[in-house]
Amino acid sequence: MASGRAMQPSGATNCARELIHQFARTRRDFLRSAAGLALGSTLLGGRAFAGSSLKKRKVVVITFGGGARDQETFAPEGQENIPQLMRELIPQSTFFTQVVNRGILGHYVATASLATGVYETINNFASLPPENPTVFEYFRKDLKRPSSDAWVVAPSNGFNRIGESSHRSYGLGLGARVILPKHLLTAAISKGRSDYEHLLRDNYETPLYAPELAGSEFELDQLERILKLSVDDFRTHAKTLSSPDELSVYIVRQLMRQVAPSLLWITMHDIDVAHAGAYSLYIEGIRRTDRLCAEVWKMIQSEPEYAGKTTLFILPDFGRDSDDDPGGNGFQHHRTGDAFSRTTWLMALGTGVREGVVYDRAMESVDLVPTIGSMLDFSASLAQGKPIQELV
């Protein structure tokens, strides 16, 4: 079975569709029984942004990364790992059970696809910008917003180009500011020493590899100037945190307080430790991400610049391989491209979103950018996806 070994397939495409549907149905039924959500109808739209000036509207996106499966999250046996999502967030959200990613399942390229609304094909491991305009560029160009109004906080050096595409009609100077908290921390702590290089080696797929930085990432001297955070305070606080995603959320808090961008994109990555093959570490990553998502939601509700005018989106960039695919190794990777690794979910909360509704129709992850466009009143003209009618 030479080709079976080559690409390690598990099932034919026709049965993949069936699997996806079954998967979504299970998730929906569980959410309805466990979290008391009502089944939504496509006739129900969002609640528009009544009472909230469009100009003051804010959107925060969290990618629940890097990839978690249903059986460790929304399936009955997985719910113990996401108590915050289950108890706190889902009852306040509109939840979509069947979000399919038809693109390349590498974290950088998939996140770039989420941010452009186009299935990007750039090299996952190279320091390259997306080829299509990002949500940040549409937002800033159409609405004439300054660079301080769109930010990305990402864990890995590989994400330093995600804020701005190479598209000739957009690109240069129109993108988001990008903060790589681990990069900042390394700079803050090592001060020219090389002992902390291991902090930069944060790509779990290739743990010994750290891509070269290129682009206009946030530099250490801007900590104080923009985030009003001294290097000493940053360093001291970082030493109390247990993971890169915790550091990201710490930076997010500063950013929300000091800059209050209207479009904020947070990429979580701790879960991707699964690539090392230790199941307990993967579960720890999911539990931490669950807690951090709730923290960000609390910040949104408590920060005056955000409370009452912010929509939060939480979604994984993709899933992980199923246990049933002989070509994969279960939770460890996302290499088979099977139905389970492609099918995820989306949760929307806050302004303009109905609470406690679940939809199980199929949608694609590239629908996110046009949806944000419809919400904030810019046109994601080159995106492949479509606005999610239930939210706009």
Least CB distance to another protein at residue 73 (A): 15
Q: Does 280 bind another protein (CB under 8 A)?
A: yes
Applying CB under 8 A, among 44, 143, 226, 241 the residue interacting with another protein is: 241
Any bridge partners for residue 179, and if so which? Answer: 153
Q: 188-217 mask for another protein (x: CB under 8 A)?
A: -x-----xx-xx---x-xxxxxxx------
Q: What is the Cα–Cα distance from 142 to 56, expressed in whole angstroms?
A: 15
Q: Which pair of tokens denotes residue 207?
A: 């743990």
Tokens 């247990």: give the residue. Answer: 242
Which residue's CB is nearer to another protein, number 50 or number 208? 208
DSSP bridge pairs for 264: 60, 151
Q: Is 12 in the site for another protein (CB under 8 A)?
A: yes
Task: Please list, in sequence order, all residues whose beta carbon lies within 8 angstroms of the beta carbon of residue 128, skipping any fewer than 6 positions away.
Answer: 122, 161, 166
Of 219-238, binders to another protein (CB under 8 A) are: 238
With beta carbons less than 8 A apart as the criterion, state whether 175 and 137 touch.
yes
Report yes or no: 324 and 10 within 8 Å, Cβ to Cβ: yes
How many CB atoms are closer than 10 A to CB 169?
11
Binding mask 36-75 for another protein (x = CB under 8 A): ----------------------------------------
276 forms part of the interface with another protein (CB under 8 A): yes
What amino acid occupies position 30?
A: F
Query: 258: helix, coil or strand?
Result: helix
Using rule CB under 8 A, residue 320 touches another protein = no
Site mask for another protein (CB under 8 A), range 68-107, x = bound: ---------x------------------------xxxx--
Asked if 126 interacts with another protein (CB under 8 A), we say: yes
Q: Is 366 in the site for another protein (CB under 8 A)?
A: no
Other Cβ atoms closer than 10 A to 207: 13
Residues in CB range of 82: below 8 A, 6 or more apart: 73, 74, 286, 287, 290
Contacting positions for another protein (CB under 8 A): 1-7, 9-13, 16, 77, 102-105, 119, 121, 125-126, 185, 189, 195-196, 198-199, 203, 205-211, 238-244, 246-247, 273, 275-281, 283, 323-324, 326, 329-333, 337
